[in-house]
Amino acid sequence: MALDIQISEKEAQVYTVALKGEINTETYTALANEFKNIVPKAKAIVMDMAEVTYISSMGLSTFFRAKIELEERAATIALINVQPSVQLVFDSTKFMGPQLFATLEQADEYLDKFLDGVQKGKIKPKIRPS
């Protein structure tokens, strides 16, 4: 099954990415390529996972790399509308932590607080250990 990716810029440097299909060994590269385009310039990315039916370890790795790159620049990623079977996969890895939300409104509230913290200097870029 193909992976459909729709990207919109909600506001300056805040992107919404709606995914439809499976994120597996055949489709994860399409998502990775899109991340290459938006992660370097994003303050925040909201991933709408409502129509994602499956995610493989390669898909998880793609999210993990994007999350690390964003955090190194004091930016963030949030996942919304995650289906229960996909949520179990994210929950088992625990790397998304508190960035999984049931609704866009919850994610917006998180992003408002996060971006305010960045602007006020309370949230700093994470430094990767050498």
Please name the residues in contact with 120: beta carbons below 8 A apart, sequence gap of 6 or more.
none
Per-residue pLDDT of 13-71, as tens digits, reads 999 999 999 999 999 999 999 999 999 999 999 999 999 999 998 999 999 999 989 98
Please name the residues in contact with 55: beta carbons below 8 A apart, sequence gap of 6 or more.
22, 23, 24, 86, 89, 90
* Cα gap 39→55, rounded to integer Å: 20
* Cα gap 5→19, rounded to integer Å: 5
Per-residue pLDDT of 73-130, as tens digits, reads 899 999 999 998 898 888 887 766 667 667 778 777 777 787 777 767 776 777 666 5
